[in-house]
Amino acid sequence: MKHFLSTRWGIISVGVLIGILASLLQLWGNPANMGICVACFERDIAGALGLHRASVVQYMRPEIIGFVLGSFVAAYLFKEFRSRLGSAPIVRFVLGVFAMIGALIFLGCPWRALLRLAGGDWNAILGLVGLAVGIWIGTLFLRNGYNLGRSHKTHISAGWIMPLVMLGFLVIMLFNPQISGEGQSGILFYSVEGPGSMHAPLIISLAAGLFIGFLAQKSRFCTMGAIRDLILFKQTHLFGGLVALAVAAFLTNLVVGQFNPGFVGQPVAHNMHFWNFAGMGLAGLAFALAGGCPGRQLFLSGEGDGDASVFVIGMIVGAAVAHNFGLASSPAGVSGGGIYAVIIGFAVCLAIGFTMKEKTA
Amino acid sequence: MAKTVDARGLSCPQPVIMTVNAIKEKGQDELVVLVDTDTAKENISRAAKAQGWSVLSIDTDDGGYKIKIGK
């Protein structure tokens, strides 16, 4: 009766597969230690659409499209698709914005933090500690009754919107394919250099995304939930998946020669320890308050959760804000604006945590 | 009469927090938990077992699930 993917070994297997695939995607062309990075890839999508014009990070990442559509297929196949929305969408949008800003100050989502660690980038340790501290703050709010309120059932077609948006992105990409050496193709922007120019072939990225989206929907893989459940309930179920991802990526990196230990000169990373810690701390708090890591929000979007979709759109807009206002870090380090953004982000998230308690009884 | 925890429409971890709180209340040896997603259903079953309780029955109820758990 219980599906294999919902068991302990199920989630560990999913973590292993994501870790191996992420490492291989790097081998096949994705940026170093960025086989899969939900935050970075959503940021690249914002760039491809011209929402920001940072020329080195513009690409319509098929992995993200695949995550939502793979989850959509799984949700229908397992009869788990449920259109629902209405749990404080504007709050989730704002949390998405600041989650992205925090992630771009560290330079990665939790998945990439694990992949950076697995590639020997020790700066990731500061990010992961920050992530755990941010989530821990979130659990304090959860213990004290923080709650964004109930969602409600809605029209089935409402739950189709985010999957259809992703399908639309794919169609746009197919009709505006990358032209070698050109920064633009029709209505889409592409990177000629930098991380945005590095990508695995479209079909491989899409297939990997669909496969992971399918597995993650059913197994509920979530990096934020892994740490949250450990702190809140001393429960290790999801944590098994997180550890499996890191170990599998590490071993694959060793085999294919992608393990380069150190703090300095790591790809798409900086070594300002405090800001790696604080950026990811902000992101972790926002994820905890919104109930899922960026990957999980994509999988939820695929199974009909309109509130998770609003969070995703918040992250994409947050990426545009981060780059247009110069808040995102670069390999040179954090920007002056980024420091203010972290402070404002923490103030906003703490205010949300303190003021949003809803009686549910 | 078993107490009912209505966690419909709430995203994780709320349903689990509400259930664990109810389990810890004195004098409870049976609870009915209402949820509306499969994730919540699995999480409630897992949390009940972690608290030393067991799942007595799961019925589909208005597009969601009615989970009966007990000591």
Residue A361 maps to a domain: no
Nearest to B56 by CA among B71, B44, B68, B43: B68
The answer on pLDDT for A361 being more than 60 is no
Check: pTM over 0.80? Answer yes or no. yes
- Chain B: closest CA distance from residue A299 (Å): 12
pLDDT tens-digit readout, A248-296: 999 999 999 999 999 999 999 999 999 999 999 999 999 999 999 999 9
Domain region containing A204: 4-355
In a domain, A104, yes or no: yes
> Does the residue A303 lie in any domain?
yes
In a domain, A270, yes or no: yes
Name the phi and psi angles at A110, rounded to 5.
Answer: -55, -35
Task: Show residues of chain B in contact with A150, CB under 8 Å.
Answer: 8-10
Q: Are A82 and B6 within 8 A, CB to CB?
A: no
- Assess whether pLDDT exceeds 70 at residue A74: yes
CA distance A353 to chain B (A): 14
**Total number of domains in chain A:** 1
Give the CA distances from residue A196 to residues A43, A45, A58, B65, in Å, rounded to whole numbers and listed in that order: 10, 10, 5, 45
Six-digit token pair at A187? 């209505």
- The answer to whether residue A330 is domain-embedded is yes
Mean pLDDT of chain A: 96
Mean pLDDT of the A70-98 span: 97
User: pLDDT tens across B12-70, in order?
Assistant: 899 999 999 999 887 788 999 999 999 999 999 999 998 899 999 999 987 899 999 99
> Does a structural domain hold residue A244?
yes
Contact B9 A87 (CB under 8 A): yes
Closest CA to A121 of A227, A317, A15, A276: A276
**Cβ-based burial of A168 (10 A; exposed 0-12, middle 13-18, buried ≥19):** exposed
What percent of chain A has a predicted confidence (pLDDT) above 90?
98
Within a domain: residue A360?
Answer: no
Considering the domain boundaries, does residue A306 fall inside one? yes
Which burial class, exposed, middle or buried, applies to A277 when counting CB atoms under 10 A from its CB (0-12, 13-18, 19+)?
Answer: buried
For residue A140, the tally of other CB atoms under 10 A from its CB is 13
Question: What pLDDT score was predicted for residue B25?
Answer: 86
